[in-house]
Amino acid sequence: MATAADAMIRTIVVGTDGSPQAQAAVTFTGQLAKQLGAEVILVHAMPPFPLGVKHSGRLAFVPQGFIDDARAAHERRARSEFCAPLAAARVAWQVHIQEGSAPEVIAEAVNSFQAQLIVVGRRGLRGLGELVLGSTSRALTHHASVPVLVVPPMSVHAG
């Protein structure tokens, strides 16, 4: 039988791509986590780095140092810029950056960190991928193992 403690939200996963809509979700999550005393796991999914690129009909390999530098720059941006609302809210937080599709990376983080809630913005950076696969929030609301809270862009201004 489940107890009240089992239903408590102790860990929240919030997904961001750095867009204003996603950052509204991060700000909302910081406010919510502060009220609940919960920890936040900020998740950022990166596209896979190419191992090689075609140049003048030849395949040129991307040096590992370049890939490592790009990953480090991504992580610095996530820790400083993307997590700024969490630091401002003074809540406990961690950053989880992984290559892959956002819905898959977020779902894996939920399992890894045993989160009880996912928070995402209604729309993020869009492109052909969204037309073909659907948005991250849509995919998560259909397939997530925990509740998904979808934050509209203006909700952080209401409080």
Comparing 66 with 60, which gets the higher pLDDT?
Answer: 66
The pLDDT value given to residue 68: 86
Q: What is the pLDDT of residues 97-135, one digit of tens each?
A: 998 999 999 999 999 999 999 999 987 445 544 443 348
Q: Which of 60-64, 139-143, 152-156 shows the lowest mean pLDDT across its residues?
A: 152-156
* Single pTM value for the model: 0.81
Does the structural domain 10-49+59-154 have CATH classification 3.40.50.620? yes
**Which stretches of the chain are DSSP H helices?**
4-7, 20-36, 64-77, 84-89, 102-113, 128-133, 136-143
